[in-house]
Amino acid sequence: MNILKPNWPAPSNVIAFTTLRNSSEQDYPPLPARACHLKQIHSASVVSADTITATMPEADAAFAKLPGSVCVVRTADCVPVLLCDKQGTQVAAIHAGWRGMAAGIIQTTAKKLGIAPQECLTWIGPCIGPSAFEVGRDVLEGFRGQGWSEAIISQAFKPRLGVPQKWLGNLVLLAKHALQEYGVPVENLYGGDWCTYSDPARFYSYRRSQHEGDSQDGRMSTFIWLQHT
């Protein structure tokens, strides 16, 4: 199968998948409508796919409460996060780069939906893993500047041995922390098991394309919508 389907207990009317680097539109489930593509700007901006009229609004997350409104984000190392409620009445797709995550894009999207935390199901898709995401002090300071605790920063960023002033960052851990800060129980967190950098057969990776000359500098797309019943 040339798409990745979330392994989570979402209701049957919630349709979701992530494309792979070899995916084509023939691999997709039929889309019910034009997808709400975003001009992603690494922000905490969220839009409604139900009401959007702009072709590509500047935002990093979209949510929908009406059947047939398609939310989609594009990633190639950043974290795609999907949300839905256990009743299958609301969905959201989030593009969580480190800047957006530091600024609270995940918590902001969850609040926009208004799902009670214990009713919120979440799935974290393919992103760059903690053995490959090397960052400088500016990234740590970016999280500190947004009020993230030193305890979480020290868990998520480990000094890179032998490389002064460089750290290895764990984006999945940060995403899970953001979801749990909203109140989502740990048993409602799914996914986070893939590293885009280390799996060139299936995933695009921006950093791999920069460091290793991967000529296919593309993006995966992560879709979610409510199916008409």
* Mean pLDDT of all residues in 123-145: 97
* Mean pLDDT of all residues in 202-221: 82
Burial state string for 142-169 with b = 16 or more CB within 10 A and e = fewer than 16: bbeeeebeeeebeebbeeeeeeeeebbb
In the predicted model, is pLDDT for residue 214 greater than 70?
Answer: no
* Mean pLDDT of all residues in 209-223: 80
Contacts with 149 (C-beta within 8 Å, 6 or more apart), sequence order: none
The proportion of the chain whose per-residue pLDDT surpasses 70, expressed as a percent, equals 97
**pLDDT (tens digit, 9 = 90+) per residue, 18-52?**
999 999 989 999 999 889 899 999 999 999 999 98
Structure-model confidence comparison of residues 9 and 33, the more confident one: 9
**Cα angle, residue 94 at apex, residues 216 and 29 outer, rounded to 5°:** 65
Residue 62's identity, in one-letter code, is A
Kindly report the pTM of this predicted structure: 0.96
In the predicted model, is pLDDT for residue 225 greater than 70?
Answer: yes
Model confidence at 215, in pLDDT bands (50, 70, 90)?
low
Beta strands per DSSP E along 43-183: 46-48, 61-64, 70-75, 79-85, 91-96, 120-124, 134-135, 157-159, 167-169
User: What pLDDT does 228 receive?
Assistant: 87
Model confidence at 71, in pLDDT bands (50, 70, 90)?
very high
* Mean pLDDT of all residues in 164-187: 97
In the predicted model, is pLDDT for residue 3 greater than 90?
Answer: yes
- 């609004």: which residue's tokens? 57
Domains of the chain and any CATH numbers: 3-129+187-226 (3.60.140.10)
**pLDDT (tens digit, 9 = 90+) per residue, 82-120?**
999 999 999 999 999 999 999 999 999 999 999 999 999
Structure-model confidence comparison of residues 3 and 216, the more confident one: 3
